A and B are shown apart, each in its own frame.
Chain A
């Protein structure tokens, strides 16, 4: 069966996609809460003020959440999914937990989806935690990409936070992903 094509999220997505605490996978005051944040940039290096990022991740123990409640957060259940829109400076942020490895020796990552006005179809990428060097060195994706671009997939640590910038285009363009059953999207 033919998959329905994507279309841009457009300029008015806040109307349909925004809701209370959408970017708080845990309350910011949670003892293990970490701030995952960054900017989205266009091909001229200008911030993109109308982008949406979604993250989907394992919990701290590496378990993949199977719990509902991402739209009506109860403050206790970790659902593993969140959404953040960029602000007028092109900045987004999440309060979340650092994902654990889903298998021993695997490098933990946030799965990331990017939408924006001007972007005709969604983009997929990964944001890896920077710490486990041997796991990162053994990672299939990181091993397959041009070494010069590998750093676009790895978050940077700062006190109390993780920084992940997204460059839609340009010298620092983020590596985006094509999964086997949607490679046609890149014709």
Chain B
């Protein structure tokens, strides 16, 4: 039998009683698709070696500057609330991750993804694909312009809705820092009801996924602005002078 939101809420509340760490619980039954897709054996602790101490290199040949503007990919302007999202990618010791790849993807303003599997009967926007790429600057800054995504329904349980979010894929300076996550918007009424967001049972940790509205990023008569910093896990390797040169190149 399909669960109701009330069933899911009870499960979320029960799971919150066992304190979790700062990362999502991968064994988190309120997110139904996770049940058969999480390892049950504890992960094997290991010190990173060899290639694990390095990350792949991306550069300007990989990413064009205009890929950071999701509003100019078609003949017309997309419908919705134009926004700029910016922040810094930092390692666990606060050092900027420079010259590294950030990929983003999202639903349109109506909550519809341009993807065959999204059958939510909300309109596609012929002027919006919802995909962007960029490289971080020397101080770790990324920045892109887009349309604020809408919330959308999914089939985890009856009347399930995801809070509005943008998917982020981020690389660090070590392979071990690889991160894919979701950025949320402040004050979303769906936070308490969403098992994906609530799978991070430490409230302080999950709030790290919420961008802040920043009026200094907002531009007059054009777009509102959000700021979201992405802190990765620590590096294992002592940074070398050559890294800095490489990243600046």
Contacts and interface: CB of A to CB of B under 8 A. Distances in A.
Which interface class (under 10, 10 to 19, 20 to 34, 35 or more) fits A?
35 or more
Contact of A12 (B26, B40, B117, B205): B117
A104 interface: no
Which residue of A57, A144, A181 has the most chain B CB atoms within 10 A of its CB atom? A181
Interface in B40-79: 40-52, 54-63
Interface residues of B, number: 84
Interface stretch (B3-11, B217-225, B231-239): B231-239
A181 B236 contact: yes
A120 B178 contact: no
Nearest to A112: B175
A58 B235 CA distance: 19
Taking chain A's interface residues, is the majority helix, strand, or loop, or is none over half, making it mixed? loop
Contacts of B48: 179
A54 B61 contact: no
A4 B26 contact: no
A94 interface: no
Interface in B73-121: 90, 92-94, 101, 103-106, 113-115, 117-118
Given A64-B54, A72-B61, A102-B50, A184 B34 contact: no
Interface of B: 19-26, 28, 31, 33-52, 54-63, 90, 92-94, 101, 103-106, 113-115, 117-118, 129-131, 133, 167, 169, 175-176, 178-182, 196-197, 199-200, 204-206, 208-209, 230-236, 246
Interface of A: 1-17, 42-44, 46, 48, 54, 56-58, 64-72, 79-81, 99, 102-103, 106, 109, 111, 113, 115-124, 140-141, 144-145, 149, 168-169, 173-187
Given A4-B179, A144-B44, 5 more contacts: A12-B117, A117-B33, A118-B36, A120-B28, A187-B19
Closest 9 CB pairs of A and B: A16-B105, A187-B21, A68-B59, A118-B33, A81-B56, A118-B37, A178-B43, A71-B62, A185-B23
